[in-house]
Amino acid sequence: MIYEARPSTTPCTTALCSWNETTIYQFTGNTDAWGGSVSAVDSAGNLYGISFFGGAYRAGAVFELSPTQGGWTETIVHNFTGGSDGALPTSLLLGHDGNLYGTASAGGNGNCDGFLTCGVVFQLVPSGGGWTENVIYAFTGTTDGAEPSGLIQDSFGNLYGFSICLNNPDEERCGNDPYGYYGFIFKLSPSGGGWGFSTLYNSLGDCYEDPNHFNGLTTDAAGNLYAVEGGDAWCDPWGCYGMNCGRVVAVPSGAVLVSGGANIFQNLTSDANGNLYGTTNTCGFGTPSRTDGMVWQYSP
């Protein structure tokens, strides 16, 4: 379901006052965007989100929830087919131009070195009372990676996201590399009516024999780009080799701003003063026994 939470109309005198929750839409589990999550809102109050497995073809969907006098109405913006239009969406944003942009972790035209389709970056444009999808980049699973996610946009309209490279006996992607599992950060720039693709950074070798994929991106007010990476679910006190590889890096320089203390740095955001904020799902600074995660701040 999708819900709304509002503070109580009664003045709160402590830090423990609860909020009032209201369910604004209950997914039906049929061909709608069941299991969906909201990730964007426009100036009219319409909500937009993605469903990983929902939609008419069970390959994912993009949906809109619009406030009406009688409640909220769901509209399926796009049903992914699993073909060249993509499948299994992973991120969505409302662009500065009013179009929706997102990533789908499967589908597309490539075949990922003969194994699977690799995913796409898509655009959804309002058209004739509906929406038209355009695939603005299809991943090949080679030097661009596969399974894109984490899409953000800067003030110039450039899109940034991350993809992954998998190398193991079941999934041969990005060539034969001993590190096995790492990530790319990519950029898509609008140019001459199309989009130019480039990779800005990869985590190859950032931590030996540890899965180093990216989990979040953000830009600050000055336009600088930052990423959080790390991927092992276990906590260990013995540094990088001991699977304690979570970090925050500047892109594209790779300068490490925060290192260690946890394995998975899960997300990233910034404020107007250039401070960075995020969370981890394990560990914490201090003794190795702190394993419940943390909320952290980095100030330049």
Q: Give a three-class secondary structure readout of the chain.
A: CEEEEEECCCCCCCCCCCEEEEEEECCCCCCCCCCCEEEEECCCCCEEEEECCCCCCCCCEEEEEEEECCEEEEEEEEECCCCCCCEEEEEEEECCCCCEEEEEEECCCCCCCCCCCCCEEEEEEEECCEEEEEEEEECCCCCCCEEEEEEEECCCCCEEEEEEEEECCCCECCCCCCCCEEEEEEEEEEECCEEEEEEEEECCCCCCCCCECEEEEEECCCCCEEEEECCCCCCCCCCCCCCCCCEEEEECCCCEEEECCCCCECCCEECCCCCEEEEECCCCCCCCCCCCCEEEEECC
Q: Which domain holds residue 245?
A: 215-300
Per-residue pLDDT, averaged over 70-90, amounts to 93
Q: Do residue 192 and residue 101 come from a single domain?
A: yes
Min mean pLDDT across 148-162, 220-234, 238-252 is at 238-252
Q: Do residue 95 and residue 146 come from a single domain?
A: yes
Does 281 have pLDDT greater than 70?
Answer: yes
Q: Do residue 228 and residue 149 come from a single domain?
A: no
In a domain, 26, yes or no: yes
Q: Do residue 49 and residue 160 come from a single domain?
A: yes
Q: Do residue 17 and residue 158 come from a single domain?
A: yes
The most confident of the ranges 30-34, 53-57, 238-242 is: 53-57
In a domain, 210, yes or no: no
Q: Do residue 154 and residue 267 come from a single domain?
A: no
Structural domain total, the chain: 2
Q: Do residue 192 and residue 243 come from a single domain?
A: no
More confident residue, 175 or 278: 278
> Which pLDDT score is estimated for 241?
44
> Which pLDDT score is estimated for 232?
57
In a domain, 57, yes or no: yes
**pLDDT confidence band for 27 (50 / 70 / 90):** very high
Residue where a domain terminates, one of 170, 204, 238: 204
Q: Do residue 166 and residue 226 come from a single domain?
A: no
The CATH code of the domain that includes 242 is 2.40.10
In a domain, 209, yes or no: no
Q: Do residue 180 and residue 109 come from a single domain?
A: yes
Q: Do residue 27 and residue 160 come from a single domain?
A: yes
Q: Do residue 271 and residue 157 come from a single domain?
A: no
Instruction: Specify the pTM.
Output: 0.88
In a domain, 246, yes or no: yes
Per-residue pLDDT, averaged over 63-78, amounts to 93
> Which pLDDT score is estimated for 289?
54
Residue where a domain terminates, one of 176, 204, 232: 204
More confident residue, 204 or 27: 27
